[in-house]
Amino acid sequence: MRDNAGLLHRHHLLLRRLHSLTGILPIGVFLIFHLTTNSSVLWGAINTRADAEGLARGVATFQHEVAWINNMPGLLLIEITLWVSIGFHSVLGVVYALSGKPNVRLYAYRDNWRYTMQRWTGYIGILFIFYHVATLRWGWSFLVPGGAQWSHHFAASTLADALRGSTTSITPAGVGVSLLYFVGVTSLVFHFANGLWTAAITWGLTVSEQAQKRWGAVCTALGAGLMLAGWSSVIGFLITDRDQARGIEERMLIEHYGEDRADQIITEHGHADADTDHNEQAMTETQD
């Protein structure tokens, strides 16, 4: 061992392997649940137990899922673990990515494209996750066109507002946000699927070329599935009937908390909403 070895140097392998591990657990696993949950706004349409009709079943299913998650024990701990993992994976990832010099221009092989894309999707992913969490979780609504505030009580409708840039229609800025989500989700899914494939090499699970090929097929399938889930989430929230969704959400709120508590939540959220007038009007209508 070298005498001048610093902390990073001495724990090089540990850090590298933790970097690889965190990408899968918890981040990758979370991504799977997250996208499965979000895409339920579409696939929930087949959920006959949902308390709604047609496509709106998706909204109900989604709201149900979100509510379930929000009632999970130790949610904050899970969240903190996730944030720490993402921070760790991102910082080290950038350091590692900067150590290489992509050369796809000269060596235009598919695998080399994968390598290069892994770095770019990583950078994009970091920016996207930051925007995503800042606007929807921390409530930095000044970064949201239309200023929508996401609420887990009104999961589908507020998300639809955030994506569209307005509570009424899709604004040009909203198209931008939606595109950002599309690119962000696509990047992260690629990054995860490819990362899962290379992790098997890194850890030494897939040694032979055939094994790498087979595992590649598995990762491609998983990636394709997640990609569909991701895209259908974005599309799902874009095509959701926002007002109808709000109605379903409020009804579910009342069922869950009883009328008094629900009214309180609705009022709180309503007042905080940028689009107050319209929302209040909408609320009144649904309450009727």
Could you tell me if 259 and 178 are in contact, meaning their C-beta atoms sit under 8 angstroms apart? no
Residue 207 or 221 having the CB closest to another protein: 207
- Which residue ranges make up the site for another protein (CB under 8 A)? 2, 8-9, 12-14, 16-17, 96, 99-103, 106-109, 111-112, 114-116, 118, 198, 201-209, 212
- Name which of 209 and 277 has its Cβ closer to another protein: 209
Minimum Å gap between C-beta 250 and another protein is: 50
Q: How far apart are the first and last CA of the chain?
A: 75
Number of residues in the chain = 288
| Shortest distance, position 197 Cβ to another protein, whole Å | 8
To another protein, the closest distance from the beta carbon of 30 in angstroms equals 23
Closer to another protein at the Cβ: 34 or 191? Answer: 191
136 with 79: CB under 8 angstroms? no
Sequence letter at residue 115: Y
Residue 205 C-beta: closest distance to another protein, Å: 7
Closer Cβ to another protein, 172 or 204, answer by number: 204
Sequence-distant (6+) residues with CB within 8 A of 154 are 245, 246, 249, 250, 269
Q: What's the rounded Cα separation, in Å, for the pair 101 and 98?
A: 7
Provide the token pair at 260.
Answer: 């008094």
Q: What is 85-154 written as a DSSP string?
A: HHHHHHHHHHHHHHTS---TTTS--HHHHHHHHHHHHHHHHHHHHHHHHHHHTS--GGGSTT-----GGG
Q: Inter-axis angle of helices 56-70 and 155-164, to 10 degrees? A: 110
Q: For the CB of residue 120, give the shortest distance to another protein in the complex, in Å.
A: 13
Tell me how far, at minimum, the Cβ of 88 lies from another protein, in Å.
Answer: 16
Please, what is the minimum distance in Å from the beta carbon of residue 18 to another protein?
11
Question: Number of C-alpha atoms within 13 angstroms, CB side, residue 60?
Answer: 20
